[in-house]
Amino acid sequence: MLLDPTLVFRAFSSELVLLFTTLLVLAGDLVFRPRGQRYCTVVTLGGLFLASLSAVVFRVPEDISLMPAGLTLDSFALAVKLLGFSLIAVIALLAEADNCCQSPSTALYCALLLVAALVISILGAASDLVLILLALDFLGVIAYIMTGYERLSPNASEAALKYFLYGSTLSALMLFGFSWLYGASATTDLVGLGAFLDRGATSSALSLRAAELDYVVLPALIMVGAGFAMKLAAAPFHQWAPDTYQGAPTCSTAFIAVVPKLGGLIALIRLTLVALPAGSSEHGGDWQALLVALAVVTMIVGSLAALWQKDVKRLLAYSGVVQVGYMLIGVATQSATGAAALLFYLFIYALASVGIFAAIIAVTGKTTPVSTDISAFSGLHQRAPWLAFGTLVGLFALIGMPLTGGFIGKFWLFVAALEKGFPWLTGIAMLSSIISIAYYWKIIRVMYFLPALTDDSLRVPIWLSVALSLCVVLVILFGLFPSGVPELFRMAIVDFRF
Amino acid sequence: MQFPILSAILITPLLGALLILVIPREDVRTIRRVGVAFAVISFVLATILWIRVEQLGAGALQLVERYPWIADFDIWYHVGVDGLSTPLIWLTALLMTLALFYSAHVIEDRVKEYYFLFLLLETGLIGVFLALDLVLFYVFWEIGLVPMFLIIGIWGGKRRDYAAIKFFLYTLAGSVFALLAIIAIYFNTGTFDIVELARLQPFAQDVLWANLASWGLWLAFAIKIPVFPLHTWLPDAHTEAPTAGSVMLAGVLLKLGAYGMLRIGLPLFPQMFRYYVLDVPILPVLALFSIVYGALVCLAQWDFKRLIAYSSVAHMGYFTLGLCAAAARSAETQMAAISALDGAAWQLFSHGIITGGMFFLVGMLYERTHTRDLRAFGGLSGQMPVYYGLTLVFALASLGLPGLAGFWSELFVFRGTAQLLPLAAYIGVLGMVFTAAYILWKVIQYVFLGTFDAIRWGTLTDLAWWEKVAVVPLLVLTIVLGLYPAPLLATFDSAITALLHVLP
């Protein structure tokens, strides 16, 4: 099959922009060496903006499945692009201010961010098992490098090694699971896989009986689920998260908290809704049970572990685990509402998290050695009121208080879950929201109710202020006027075959 | 199109709060002036509103505004008032004005945040009384929570952080289950409209879900009222909060739960209410526990502020009792039910002014003496005669002396309850006896009578002019309403009659 070249150009316009920008950053850094830092950030932001623009302007008219490439360019892919690019742009602002990201060179860090954006945009369209695996692993490699970016810090190296070992082992397991699925169905295409699971055993490439097919598909699904759980830091495959969060430079922590989760969840949404939808086959039901179990375990384990943390980054690692538990509810409903709610909630979670990490960079940036103990936030209210307020808004969004987008997101997730008949699942989510107050409270308490350890006021770098303000404004804006946004996300999902 | 006065009342404090944000932190005088000015504007608007509602008729929902807010989820900005909510809005605006005026002379620390949070709190509180959409109600409910949490935590007493988080956790724990119930109700009926829902009666056929949904809502309201055994956040929060915070907590925040019961709990689930009052009498037993236990704890209490806090538990118990009586009504006993609910609604208003006044007075004493231990005082009547006189009136009103505002609620609640739930009425009257005991013995005798410690308290000054300004309006209201209750009673009565009339 020959493809129209202009169509290919249109389809990959934003990826091309990102590639070109990556080269521009790396090359330009050599030219502008002494003042390279500012240059890199500006070019990165510009590139991300142009990529978003071209994604919208050169939108492929109708949903086109680029079969040989395993890509489906639908409105979901477009939504993911915009979501991913904007989040990575905010993280690029953090990178500018975080000293840890500037050695050996800021250019390299920015290049990594741009490549990550490229991978996300491919993941959004990926509808082929092999491509999904490749993209997820590519994203993983970027995250490993970012974690160990501070080469001379033993903590960072340990964090990166732990992350790498966990990640590669479970990726291998996921690949193994995919290969079983391929072995049974003789296809790696998600639509083909879905059709195969629909028709059942008779169509199997191995000509199995129904009972025998179960022996192949069920273990495969469990292995795939485990792989996804690691990518998302969902229990019981979350143990890498606290150490990695703590050891990595804070800007990289923000990246790890947001981008791999985004990548994993969008792949999970497409896999679930296209290949394993509810009611199509019994495997859809099995998959749902698996996801529900994963969500429940994740929420409970994350909540209980978070209660005992004394380090801000470790606390946020566990709170991230809990948040993924909520989001898994969205996938587990196997419905358009659930998936759309998930996307929205993910966006709010990412904004709130990045905002809080920006505050952590500002607070801990000057201390040597870097200590992220909660007490570092003492009296932040007096030292830097706006920083404290931004963190407060971020934490309230994570709790799900009204007036923040977090409330709308949770509300929507719960609506989706109740719609599909999961009152007990929402009950557990509610309980873990209540528990979450107890650990977020630790940060709020030291920020607002305790005196500062030092009297000097905190000078916040301008880029951090911009990033934090952006996050706060968006979180509140989506909390007050979410009208239309839900419809937009739902539109992005309904393209899928159910 | 007429002037959207409800939206105006709602938005005025918010505008004030935002305006305060742009005033420089050092300019404390301007911040105070702007804060009080916006509270006064809200109060004036609330007064105009009450007059309008009386003209239009207090028995139906008036001045309704309805616009889509989040169309995707069928959530509306739907507000309206009747004879039940209007007096409570007015009470909120009044107490807020007095509280901010008083604070202008007391609070020196972080003034900007203080006024910002209080005005934000006012928007949240008034919003709850206005909302006619379940989700809107929930949102305002939670908006009120955050500022009060910070107010207790930043400006509170010694154990403020403990009290703040306890308050936050209790309230939120209740309200998340209310949220679940709200979504479930939506899936059953297809609407969040409170008025419509009272007509539709959600889960009429489904006993399990009717139980889950009604208890989800009641839990949130019962924690806020508070009903024994969910009251334990109250003494801590009220005691540790700064004076103005205690006034708003006792004066208005407790009423949110009660109002929720009247506006949502009872109309949506009258059958469940009746079941848990008559067949399985959990609710009246808890109400009686609140009354008797609250009063007994007061008798054993040596902390002045904590005593007043616990007296709120007992007094709000009368409200719950009246509510239970109304739920137990049948076609023949409609009049008794109306009487009980009239008394309950009256209790909301009168408890607001009386306990609001008491918390002001306790705070003023604490500002001077830095102790709340009742045993440390004695014979203050000679040293602070004006203070003594004011406290005496509020204390006697609190124990329900005829001629003062507190009397009418007890009279009407017990008049209704005696007919509908006679046994509960007899036990409840015990609470009044205990109330008289702790008011006269603990408050009056220990603080004002007995031997005067001239060495320790010889330098105490009587109330300053601004302290009198803060309390005297409440005193005048207490006396006027005590002597001439008819107009306010008529307002409540028309709303209550309409409310009960709709129910099956």
Give the list of residues 6+ apart from residue B178 with CB closer than 8 angstroms, or none. B138, B216, B217, B219, B220, B221
Q: Is A407 on the interface with B (CB under 8 A)?
A: yes
CA distance linking residue A293 with residue A221, whole number of Å: 13
Section A188-203 average pLDDT: 77
Phi-psi region for residue B362, left (φ > 0), alpha (ψ -120 to 50) or beta?
Answer: alpha
One-letter identity of residue B100: L
**Whole-angstrom distance, CA of residue B493 vs CA of residue A227:** 65
Nearest CA-CA distance, residue A479 and chain B, Å: 10
Q: Is pLDDT of A169 > 90?
A: yes
Range A212-224 average pLDDT: 87
In the block, tokens 């505004």 appear at: B65
Please give the DSSP secondary-structure letter assigned to residue B223: H
For CA atoms A417, A419, A424, A428, give the dihedral sign. Answer: positive
Is residue A103's pLDDT more than 80? no
Using pLDDT thresholds of 50, 70 and 90, give the confidence band for residue A472.
very high
Of the partner residues B142, B173, B184, the one whose CB lies closest to the CB of residue A434: B173
Q: Are B319 and B269 in contact (CB under 8 A)?
A: no
Residue B449: its H or E element = none
Q: Where are the alpha helices (DSSP H) in B156-206?
A: 160-189, 194-200
Q: CA A166, CA A163: separation in Å to the nearest integer? A: 5
Say yes or no for a CB contact (<8 Å) between A427 and B143. no
Q: What is the mean pLDDT of residues A242-269?
A: 92
Quick one: pLDDT at residue A200? 65
Angstroms from A153 CA to nearest CA on chain B:
37
> Best residue in B26, B70, B117, B175 to probe A by mutation, most A CBs within 10 Å?
B70
Domain ranges for chain B, please list them. 280-504
Please classify residue B473 by burial: count the beta carbons closer than 10 Å to its beta carbon, then call 0-12 exposed, 13-18 middle and 19+ buried.
Answer: middle
Stretch B428-457: mean pLDDT: 86
Averaged pLDDT, A84-113 = 85
Q: What percent of chain B has pLDDT over 70?
A: 100
Contacts B169 to A, Cβ<8 Å: 434, 437-438
pLDDT attached to residue B347 = 92
Q: What are phi and psi of A481, to 5 degrees?
A: -130, 70
* Mutate: best of A413, A439, A441, partner B, most B CBs <10 A: A441
CA A18/CA A122 separation, integer angstroms: 12
pLDDT at residue number B58: 80
Concatenated DSSP letters of A248-317: S-HHHHHHHHHHHHHHHHHHHHHIIIIIS-TTTSHHHHHHHHHHHHHHHHHHHHHHHHHTT--BHHHHHH
With tokens 């008219």, the residue in question is A61
Mean pLDDT score across all residues of chain A: 86
Please tell me the distance from the alpha carbon of residue B243 to that of residue A208, in angstroms, as a whole number. 77
Q: Under 8 Å CB-to-CB from A218, ≥6 apart: which residues?
A: A283, A286
Contacts of B138 in chain A (CB under 8 A): 402
Q: Decide if pLDDT at A368 tops 60.
A: no
**A173 SS3 class:** helix
Size of interface A-B (CB pairs under 8 A): 78
**Substitution target from A403, A435, A469 for chain B, most B beta carbons within 10 A:** A403
Please give the average per-residue pLDDT across A129-147, as a whole number. Answer: 93
- What is the structure's pLDDT at B64? 85
DSSP secondary structure, A444-497, as one string: HIIIIIS--SS-SPPPPPHHHHHHHHHHHHHHHHHHH--TTHHHHHHHHHHTS-
Position A156 confidence tier, pLDDT thresholds 50, 70, 90: confident
| Chain B interface, Cβ < 8 Å to A | 68-73, 135, 138-139, 142-143, 146, 150, 153-154, 160-161, 164-165, 168-169, 172-173, 176-177, 179-180, 183-184, 186-187, 212
Please compute the mean of the pLDDT values over residues A353-363 and round it to a whole number.
91
- Asked whether residue A485 carries a pLDDT value surpassing 80, the answer given is no
pLDDT at residue A275 in the model: 86
Residue A184: the pLDDT is 84
pLDDT tens-digit series, residues B169-227 = 898 888 888 988 998 899 888 889 998 888 888 888 888 888 889 999 999 999 998 88
- Greatest Cα-to-Cα distance within chain B, rounded to the nearest angstrom: 71
Whether residue A207 is predicted with pLDDT greater than 70 in this model: the reply is: no
Q: In the predicted model, is pLDDT for residue A63 greater than 60?
A: no
Q: Which of residues 373-402 of A touch B (CB under 8 A)?
A: 396, 399, 401-402
The total domain count for chain A is: 1
| Mean local confidence (pLDDT), A345-351 | 94
Contacts of A167 (CB under 8 A, 6+ apart): A140, A143, A144, A230, A231, A240
Q: Is A454 left (phi over 0), alpha (psi -120 to 50) or beta?
A: beta
Torsion of CA B296, B298, B302, B305, to 10 degrees: 160
- Tell me whether strands A64-66 and B75-81 are parallel, antiparallel or unpaired: unpaired
Instruction: Give B375's DSSP letter.
Output: G
Which of A343, A442, A483 is the best substitution to test chain B (most B C-beta atoms within 10 A)? A483
Peptide bond into B24 cis (omega under 30): no
What's the token pair of residue B21? Answer: 């944000």
Chain A CB contacts of B164 below 8 Å = 449
Residue of B nearest to A430 (CA): B176
The answer to whether A414 faces chain B, any CB pair under 8 Å, is: yes
The pLDDT assigned to A160 comes to 92
pLDDT-derived band of residue A367, with 50, 70 and 90 as boundaries? Answer: low
- C-alpha to C-alpha distances, B22 to A155, A376, B25, B151, nearest whole angstrom: 43, 28, 9, 20
| Mean pLDDT in residue range B457-462 | 82
- Name the nearest CA neighbour of B9 among B55, B41, B53: B41
Question: Per-residue pLDDT tens for B242-284?
Answer: 999 999 999 999 999 999 999 998 889 888 888 898 888 899 9
Residue B73 to residue A418, Cβ atoms within 8 A: no
Is residue A352 pLDDT above 90, yes or no?
Answer: yes
pLDDT at position B228? 84
Token digits of residue A318: 């566990």
Instruction: Select the residue of B72, B154, B172 nearest A483 (Cβ to Cβ).
Output: B72
Q: Is A488 on the interface with B (CB under 8 A)?
A: no
Range of A57's domain? Answer: 5-494
CA-to-CA distance for A212 and A208, rounded, in angstroms? 6
**Residue range A346-372: mean pLDDT, rounded:** 84
Q: Please give, rounded to a whole number of angstroms, the shortest distance from the CA of B450 to a CA of chain A.
A: 40
B313 in Cβ contact with B55 (< 8 Å) = no
Task: Give residue A61's pLDDT.
Answer: 65
| Structure confidence at residue A335 as a pLDDT band (50, 70, 90) | confident
User: Does the structure show a pLDDT above 60 at A1?
Assistant: no
CB burial readout B275-304, b (16+ within 10 A) else e: bbbbeebebbbbbbbbbbbbbbbbeebebb
Contacts A415 to B, Cβ<8 Å: 73, 183, 186
pLDDT above 50: residue A62? yes
* Contact residues, chain B, for A402 at CB < 8 Å: 138-139, 142-143
Contact A404, B146 (CB under 8 A): no
* A209 inside 8 A of chain B by CB: no
ipTM of this complex prediction, to 2 decimal places: 0.85
Spatial CA neighbour of B426 closest among B314, B284, B298 = B284
At residue B371, does pLDDT exceed 70?
yes
How many Å apart are CA A58 and CA A13, to the nearest integer?
Answer: 7
Average pLDDT over residues B36-62: 90
Q: Provide mean pLDDT across the span B290-296.
A: 91
> Which whole number is the average pLDDT over A399-412?
89
- Rounded to whole angstroms, the Cα distance separating B6 from B67 reads 13
Between A451 and A496, the more confident residue is A451
Q: List CB contacts of B363: < 8 A, sequence separation 6 or more.
A: B242, B243, B244, B246, B247, B305
CB contact under 8 A, A437 and B172: yes
Nearest to A437 among B138, B168, B186 (CB): B168
What whole-number distance in Å separates Cα of residue B39 and Cα of residue B118?
10
Highest mean pLDDT among A295-299, B239-243, B273-277: A295-299
pLDDT band at A498; cut points 50, 70, 90: very low
* Residue among B103, B9, B146, B121 nearest B65 (CA): B9
Question: If pLDDT is split at 50, 70 and 90, which confidence band does A105 have?
Answer: confident
Residue of A nearest to B136 (CA): A402
From residue B81, how far is each of B56, B84, B88, B131 by CA, in Å?
A: 11, 8, 10, 9
Residue B387 reports pLDDT greater than 80 = yes
Partner residue facing A414 (CB), from B153, B180, B212: B180
By C-alpha distance, the chain A residue nearest B168 is: A437
Q: Which of B146, B165, B176 sits opposite A433 (nearest CB)?
A: B176
Largest CA distance in chain A: 75
- With bands split at pLDDT 50, 70 and 90, how would you rate the model's confidence at B229? confident
Q: What is the pLDDT of residue B1?
A: 58
Task: Tell me the pLDDT band of A107, cut-offs 50, 70 and 90.
Answer: confident
Cα→Cα distances A146→A38, A232, B20, Å? 19, 17, 43
Asked whether the beta carbons of B213 and B202 are under 8 A apart, the reply is yes
d(CA B129, CA B260): 9
For residues B106 and B114, is the Cβ–Cβ distance under 8 A? no
Q: Residue A235 pLDDT > 90, yes or no?
A: no
pLDDT of B237 above 70:
yes
Query: Do A475 and A394 touch, CB atoms closer than 8 A?
Result: yes
Considering only residues 424 to 463 of chain A, which have any Cβ-Cβ distance to chain B shorter than 8 Å? 426-427, 430, 433-434, 437-438, 441, 445, 448-449
Using a CB–CB cutoff of 8 Å, tell me whether A476 touches chain B: no
Residue pair B374/B302 in contact by the 8 Å Cβ criterion: yes
A482 has a chain B CB within 8 A of its CB = yes
- Looking at residue A329, its amino acid is I
Distance from C-alpha of A293 to C-alpha of A297, rounded to nearest angstrom: 6
Show residues of chain B in contact with A430, CB under 8 Å: 176-177, 179-180
Helix (H, G, I), strand (E, B) or coil at A150: coil
The band of A194, judged by pLDDT with boundaries at 50, 70 and 90, is confident
More confident residue, B152 or A203: B152
Phi-psi region of A70 (alpha: psi -120 to 50; beta: other; left: phi over 0): left
**pLDDT at residue A403 is higher than 90:** no
Token representation of residue B140: 């305002």
- The nearest alpha carbon in chain B to A446 belongs to B161
What the block records as the tokens of B180 is 């679940």
Higher pLDDT, B331 or A463: A463
Chain B CB within 8 Å of residue A491 CB: no
